[in-house]
Amino acid sequence: MASGVAAIRFSGVGQVFATGAGTLEALCGVETSIARHEFVAVLGPSGCGKSTLLRLVAGLLRPTRGAVEVFGLKVTEPRDDIGIVFQKPTLLPWANVEDNIVFPLRHKMGRVGAQDRERARALLAKVGLAGFEERLPAELSGGMQQRVGIGRALLMNPDILLMDEPFSALDALTREDMGFELLRIWEAQPKTVLFITHSISEAVLLADRVLVMSERPGRVIEDLAIEIDRPRGIDTSNEKMMHDYVGHLRSLLLKRAA
Amino acid sequence: MSDTSEASSSSAQREVELTWRLAARRALHAPGLLPATTFILLLLVWEASCRLFEIPTFVLPAPSRILGGFDSIAVTRWVDHVWATLRVALIGYIASIAIALPIAVLLARSEIMSRAIYPILVVVQSTPVVAVAPIIIVALGSGDLPRVVITCLITFFPLVVSTTTGLMATPPELIELSRSLRAPVIREITQIRFPYAVPYIFSALRISVTLAVIGAVVAEFVAAEKGIGYFIQFSTSMFQVQQAWAGLVVLVLLSLILFQIVTLAQRIWFPWSLPKERT
């Protein structure tokens, strides 16, 4: 993590949206940086601008104040080395699983080669969906659909993976399972991950660092390093350290809410 | 009830009853059976009332008399009339689709365009086509062109509105994905927005195809020397009411067939766009 330049850096980032009823200040003075291959989770109350943070990194939004840098370069438009996983899988209902995975290529370049399909099938195996190439999204469970969503984000082999509450629509067991699956993929092929979530235990279980955001206008009020050994697995959930971290974060968030 | 043999015999009875009920329910759910039965019953009641109350033909001809109305002209003449109406309806329908889809893209893409064009579309739609038809015929002469224009006018509003709604119904995440890939806008439209609009487009296509038949008939009422609409008007002026009714039956069949073709096209080419079957 001493690789000099940060993967993502927010310096004095503020975001104001114009709405029908006036203006809405979503972010104010966000100041933090994320190292290459670091797994950072962002926690915070609803509407605190967590998703705005992610869209700024993706280049889908420009900050009203301050700057967002990716690998030392100011973000002015979307970059090729970033993959996004959304809260809902948002797959194309008319395309089978393989076509959904290669969709970013077909969409960007207009065509898909045999090699790309080869790579898509390898990705499918990686996210645990080998043999499901020909299925339509409607034939898959919610968890499997989100696996396709992750595969789609990994297609361009991005350095940075942005995840916007990716498992929040899943049932509790599937959610935990998907978390471990994500860790397995991340450990096999390290990437910088910015992971937005509502779940304290999910944040602690997955991340190297947890950023806690204040209510609107959002800023970083806690930057907590999670020093639990990797690889983490089912047993990690029972460790005392895990409980301490979760307890600390919960009391912090509850105190703010009160 | 306390006796076990009695309990078992009643359970066997219940089983038989259940099997019967299941069979009855399955028969009820056989596709088309229920509507066909209703339809045949209706025809029988209609026929019986006409005979029983001696209703004059010009008020309401019995189904058997309408059937006779089909014999009043030769089959080749029927084909001629049907083809005249069908041709205008189809050309108008296709032209309408060709105009409506680009306009829908324009409306969906640009807020300014939407605010500039939409009120005009509403005004056009609010104008009763039946009232404009004679004016259009005068302006454009008596060929196929004015009839096609009238058909276009009547079909294209539902197409525009529904397609626009469909183009806007795309999940915002996919548009973000498209933007994050910096893909050309044209691919955002062809690869994401249009496919997502397919269910909306098809519901409009189904409505519009029956409207197209109405448009063609309205045009024929005003000025024509061929077509089912013309045939109905000609028959009534000759007081051949059963003949007019036969024309009406042909029109209904024509609309139904066109409607089914559109439905079938969606089922064959876009099966994923159909609503989930109820189970």
Question: How far is CA B119 from each of CA A252, B101, B208, rounded to the nearest angstrom?
Answer: 54, 18, 21
Residue B170 has pLDDT above 50, yes or no: yes
* Confidence grade of residue A74 (pLDDT, cut at 50, 70, 90): very high
Does B187 contact A at CB distance below 8 Å?
Answer: yes
Q: Which of A90, A107, A138 sits opposite B171 (nearest CB)?
A: A90
Q: Which of B176, B183, B272 sits opposite A107 (nearest CB)?
A: B183
Mean pLDDT of A219-246: 88
**Which pLDDT score, from 0 to 100, does residue B277 have?**
58
Phi-psi region of A66 (alpha: psi -120 to 50; beta: other; left: phi over 0): left
Residue B194 distance to chain A (closest CA, Å):
12
Please judge whether B181 and A94 are an interchain contact, meaning their C-beta atoms are less than 8 angstroms apart: no
Measured CA to CA, the distance from residue A213 to residue B268 in angstroms comes to 51
**Which pLDDT score, from 0 to 100, does residue A34 have?**
95
Q: Which residue has the higher pLDDT, B130 or A256?
A: B130
Measured from the Cβ of residue A97, the count of other Cβ atoms closer than 10 Å reads 26
Domain with CATH 3.40.50.300 in chain A: 8-81+158-257
Residue B66 has pLDDT above 60, yes or no: yes
Q: Which of B173, B181, B192 sits opposite A86 (nearest CB)?
A: B173
Among A47-61, A109-123, B8-22, B192-206, which stretch is predicted with the lowest mean pLDDT? B8-22
* Confidence grade of residue B279 (pLDDT, cut at 50, 70, 90): very low
Per residue in A4-46, pLDDT tens? 788 999 999 999 998 888 888 889 889 999 999 999 999 988 8
CATH class of A8-81+158-257: alpha beta
Please judge whether B187 and A107 are an interchain contact, meaning their C-beta atoms are less than 8 angstroms apart: yes
A153, closest residue in chain B (CA to CA): B177
Mean pLDDT of A202-220: 92
Of the candidates B220, B222, B198, B201, the one whose C-alpha atom is nearest the C-alpha of residue B156 is B201
Residue B177 distance to chain A (closest CA, Å):
8
Of the candidates A60, A49, A46, the one whose C-alpha atom is nearest the C-alpha of residue A15 is A49
**Which pLDDT score, from 0 to 100, does residue B125 have?**
86
**Which pLDDT score, from 0 to 100, does residue A127 have?**
87
Question: Which residue type occupies B193?
Answer: R
List chain A residues with CB under 8 Å of B177: 84, 86, 90, 104, 107
Residue A1 has pLDDT above 70, yes or no: no
The proportion of chain B whose per-residue pLDDT surpasses 70, expressed as a percent, equals 95
Cα angle A223-A225-A231, degrees, rounded to a multiple of 5: 145
**Which pLDDT score, from 0 to 100, does residue B8 have?**
62
Whether ipTM > 0.85 holds is yes
Average pLDDT of chain B? 90
**Which pLDDT score, from 0 to 100, does residue A139 have?**
92
Mean pLDDT of B167-176: 92
Q: Which residue has the higher pLDDT, B94 or A50?
A: B94
A–B CB contacts, 8 A cutoff, strictly below: 54
Task: Tell me the sheet residues that pair with A22.
Answer: A19
Residue A191 has pLDDT above 70, yes or no: yes
Q: Which of A87, A90, A92 sits opposite B195 (nearest CB)?
A: A92
